[in-house]
Amino acid sequence: MASSFGSEASAKMEKNAVVVSAPGFLGKKITKAFEKAGWGLVPTSFPAAPGMRSLDVTDRKAVEKLVLGNAPSVVINCSALTSVDWCEENREKCFAVNALGPQNLAAACAKSGAKLVHFSTAFVFDGKEKRAYAESHELKPLNVYAESKAEAEKNIMAELEDFIIIRTTDLYGFNDKGDKPCFPLWVLGRLREGKEFGIVDDQLSQPTLIDDVASAALKLVELNQNGIFHIFGRDYLSKFEFAQRAAKAFGFDPGMVKPISTAGSPMKAPRPRFLKMDTSKAASLGIMPRGIDHGLAVMKRQMGQ
């Protein structure tokens, strides 16, 4: 795992970072990308994990102590509660982690002079526009999870000037067998059961490979960029089509996946229906995430299949 770049009293270094929630799905990929690029890292987790610092992002004093004590040039926040339906029924906890946590990190970064990299979501929009959403588009969250992520963005911008907020969605990919199942892996699990199942065909988005999000974060940091960036996969498609493409990529019959409507699904929280994103700002910097078929091929290779 990542190596610490010094003691609590160590001086500020040029290429060093604190990775918050390093053992998570995105955190693992972020850690790998930054280590490969020669960054010294202090990985954190909550609760504590072997070889990592324990950090509860909702504890403002603990956040400030860790950030000021290690003096990183960058803090990368990969922590979040992402189960949309769970968040809908657990508003207080959701806002504590997803909105207050980033605010605490931003405040600590403001005191230490560090840049904050934070990951947000396309769900901050309502999905009712007929044109692609740009970074400057008005936020209109539809559910508690989305409200907490929108609040996080506002909190960061109120506390800190030097930040990168990366909006992305429907992250998929593979680190190791300890990953929580992303959407394609969940689909594969259902396909292995040998029974037909339904996936919504009226929610469209741009699923994004975690490798591409990690490489984008690294590039934005090393280019010393600032502001909000849309990092989304190239293809705009429904979850139903995504599931069919995953079935085909892994050698299953796509016909086992059947289309259903959102109204006929068990989802509790409202979802935005059409999340077409404007990615031209990132593209102008040479950041162009892969499409679904290429991303699934990368994922399959990493799984050793």
The whole-model pTM stands at 0.92
Percent of the chain with pLDDT over 70: 96
Q: Mean pLDDT of all residues in the chain?
A: 93
Tens-digit pLDDT profile for residues 175-185: 998 888 899 99
Q: Domain 16-172+208-232+276-290: state its class.
A: alpha beta
Cite the DSSP H helix spans in 133-254: 144-159, 183-192, 210-222, 239-249
Angle at 181 between CA 104 and CA 2, to 5 degrees: 50
Q: Which of 170, 234, 167 is nearest to 203 (CA)?
A: 170
Read off the pLDDT of each residue in 283-300 and give the average, rounded to a whole number. 96
What's the first-to-final CA gap in the chain, in angstroms?
A: 25
Tens-digit pLDDT profile for residues 10-46: 334 479 999 999 999 999 999 999 999 999 999 999 9
Q: What is the pLDDT of residue 8?
A: 40
Angle at 139 between CA 137 and CA 144, to 5 degrees: 155
Q: What is the pLDDT of residue 222?
A: 95
**Radius of gyration (C-alpha) of the chain in whole angstroms:** 19
Whether 173 shows a pLDDT value over 50: the answer reads: yes
Q: Is 15 exposed, middle or buried (0-12, 13-18, 19+ CB in 10 A)?
A: middle
Tens-digit pLDDT profile for residues 246-285: 999 999 999 999 999 998 888 899 999 999 999 999 999 9
Whether 89 shows a pLDDT value over 60: the answer reads: yes
Query: Domain map of the chain by residue range?
Result: 16-172+208-232+276-290
- Looking at the DSSP bridge assignments, the partners of residue 257 are 197
From CA 192, how far away is CA 73, in angstroms rounded? Answer: 46
